[in-house]
């Protein structure tokens, strides 16, 4: 893998999250409310990966990447809820 692959992939993921949230907000209802949570955690994955690139130590790098993992798990949770409730959106 290329060194910047994770940065590119998380940026692309953030763009997809933003576009999904735009769609959800246009349609209102529960999707609008869920989009607020989804945009925060979904875009912070890449932001934390970027921040990790300038970590002050190996331990700091691991900590920042761990935060990205937590945000990814939260994003996954909100996406599961959207999928499970898509008939109601």
The whole-number average pLDDT for the span 62-71 is 98
pLDDT above 80 (res 1): no
Q: Are 15 and 43 in contact (CB under 8 A)?
A: no
pLDDT above 60 (res 76): yes
What is the average pLDDT value for the chain, to the nearest integer? Answer: 92
Cα distances (Å, whole numbers) of residue 18 to 3, 14, 22, 25, 61: 25, 6, 6, 10, 26
Q: Which range among 2-6, 43-47, 59-63, 79-83 shows the weakest confidence by mean pLDDT?
A: 2-6
Span 15-34, pLDDT tens digits: 999 999 999 999 888 889 99
- Fill in the DSSP letter of residue 34: H
How open is the CA angle 76-1-40, to the nearest 5 degrees?
25
């Amino acid at each position: 893998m290329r060194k910047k692959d994770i940065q590119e992939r998380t940026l692309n993921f953030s763009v997809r999250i933003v576009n999904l949230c735009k769609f959800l907000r246009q349609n209102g209802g529960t999707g609008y409310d869920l989009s607020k949570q989804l945009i925060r955690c979904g875009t912070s994955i890449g932001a934390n990966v970027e921040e990790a690139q300038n970590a002050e130590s190996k331990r700091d790098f691991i900590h920042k990447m761990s935060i990205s993992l937590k945000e990814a798990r939260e994003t996954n949770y909100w996406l599961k809820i959207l999928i499970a409730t898509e008939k109601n959106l």
